[in-house]
Copies of this chain bind each other. A is one copy, B any other.
Amino acid sequence: MTASIVTIGDEILIGQIIDTNSSYIAKALDKIGIETTEMLSISDKEEYILSTFKKLQNKVNLVIITGGLGPTKDDVTKKTFCTYFQDTLVSNEEVLFHVTELIEGIYKRPISQINKDQALVPSKAKVLFNKVGTAPGMWMEKENTIFISLPGVPYEMKYLVNEEIIPALVQRFERPYILHKTIMTYGKGESLLAEEIEDWENNLPSFVKLAYLPSPGRVRLRLTARGKNEQILKEAIEIEVGKLQKLIPNDIVGFDDDEPIERVVGMLLNEKKFTLSTAESCTGGKIAQLITSIPGASNYFKGSMVTYATEAKINLLGVSPDLIEKYSVVSKEVVREMAHSVQRILNTDFAIATTGNAGPLKGDSFADVGTVFISVITPSQVIVEEFNFGQPREKVIDRTVNKALEILYKEILKN
């Protein structure tokens, strides 16, 4: 079973926004064994949408479209959808009731024609009821292809994918299994690694595919197995990973089953009943924000002191002004004090502190732009490391956050 994902909207084609919907949908389909063969982003003009539909008709089994379902004039997907299926728009009672309730009941204003039009759907469409927004999803079929149109607002799209589409596809179609296993390696470059594992790679079973995903300082190796028997796939991957572990034992640092690090860290803290606090300067609260983006974070995360100004470091965290005077706010002495203080004040097992100069200007210290100090306090030791993450500001902040979480992750495993 194959799928194409189509995003509609000029905001993507002019680079104003990054399309994150396609990736979300592809991952959800991949998990149930549906292979996405192509993703497309196209303009919100009727002729482009129609010619794309025609091209995908009978070429793939499933087309999922996001975007262009809003109530305004630039939203043409619904009308075009209707044209493609030679159908007419009719008002859906359930949707109209929901929209009316939302506008009149929650927003407390009279419902307008534009609002009412949100309830129009092609007469032959199976309506995917959107509890979290006003635009419904629509499911239509023609010959060998299912076309599903979804709103582009990410949380509305996610709701419909998880609650409506995936369950319906799982129930209706038999699908093969697709298993992935990603092995994280640190230190060696892509080409050196490839040489060392060449024989292993050449002898992989035909249904197992290897991909190299390099990024600065690390290479992820992704094994993908496709087939009808889940057990056979699982065993094959296990055997191949075992061989690889013998081949490059010092390069493998872990297995990344595509969970973001804040979730992995959260699960570990939860499991081991450890608590965490952060004292953030250059990261400005981003570590706290990532940690608390995970449901249930209140079980292990107590809080953060975002001490952006030097005086906040003194007044809130009690960092000694003499220490700051002597070493400057961007120093290993200060970051260690920050971590100690927040750990003590919030009484946690682990604490992270960051201080640095993200730029573009030098600010309150003499440190070069890009200089960052990270401290992680664990039940058994105090770690302080210095980095230079270069420029621009955004990259310095992101790399600091990633590095801090990576250090934390490795330390939780040891404790």
Min CB distance A415 to B, Å, is 21
Q: Report whether over half of chain A's contact residues are helix, strand or loop; otherwise say mixed.
A: mixed
Contact of A210 among B74, B154, B195 (CB under 8 A): B74
Q: Given the complex of chains A and B, what is the CA–CA distance between A291 and B48 in angstroms?
A: 40
Contact A13 B41, beta carbon cutoff 8 Å: no
Tell me if A385 is interfacial: C-beta within 8 Å of chain B: no
A306 interface residue per 8 A CB criterion: yes
B190 touches A71 (CB 8 A): yes
Bound complex: CA of A162 vs CA of B180, how far in Å?
Answer: 35
Q: Taking the complex as formed, is A38 at the interface, i.e. its CB lies under 8 A from any CB of chain B?
A: yes
> Quick one: given A109-B192, A306-B306, are A37 and B23 in contact (CB under 8 Å)?
no
Known: A112-B191, A295-B393. A309 touches B316 (CB 8 A): no
Interface status of A234 (Cβ within 8 A of chain B): no
A30 and B14 in contact (CB under 8 A), knowing A23-B19, A159-B392, A288-B308?
A: yes
Instruction: Please tell me the number of chain A residues within 8 Å of chain B, measured between CB atoms.
Output: 117
A15 near B19 with CB under 8 A, answer no
Q: Is the Cβ of A155 less than 8 Å from the Cβ of B16?
A: no
Instruction: Give per-residue flags for A287-328: 1 if the beta carbon is below 8 A from chain B beta carbons, else 0.
Output: 111011101111001111111110110011000000000000
Contacts of A304 in B (CB 8 A): 285, 304-306, 308
Question: Are B15 and A24 in contact (CB-based, < 8 A)?
Answer: yes
Q: Are B258 and A16 in contact (CB under 8 A)?
A: yes
Instruction: Give the residues in chain B near A247, CB-CB below 8 Å.
Output: none
Partner of A306, one of B303, B315, B388: B303
Kindly list chain B residues whose C-beta atoms are within 8 Å of the C-beta of A312.
Answer: 302-303, 346
Q: Closest B-chain residue to A116, C-beta based?
A: B191
Whether A308 lies near B302 (C-beta < 8 A) is yes
**Is A257 an interface residue, CB under 8 A from the partner?**
yes
Interfacial chain B residues near A37, Cβ < 8 Å: 13, 42-43, 48
Closest to A311 in B: B302
Residue numbers in B under 8 Å from A16 (CB-CB): 27, 180, 182, 213, 222, 257-258
**In the complex, what distance in Å separates the CA atom of A297 from the CA atom of B283?**
12
- The answer to whether the Cβ of A345 comes within 8 Å of any Cβ in the partner chain is yes
Check B36 against A38 for contact (C-beta < 8 Å). Answer: no
Residue A397 at the chain B interface, CB threshold 8 Å: yes
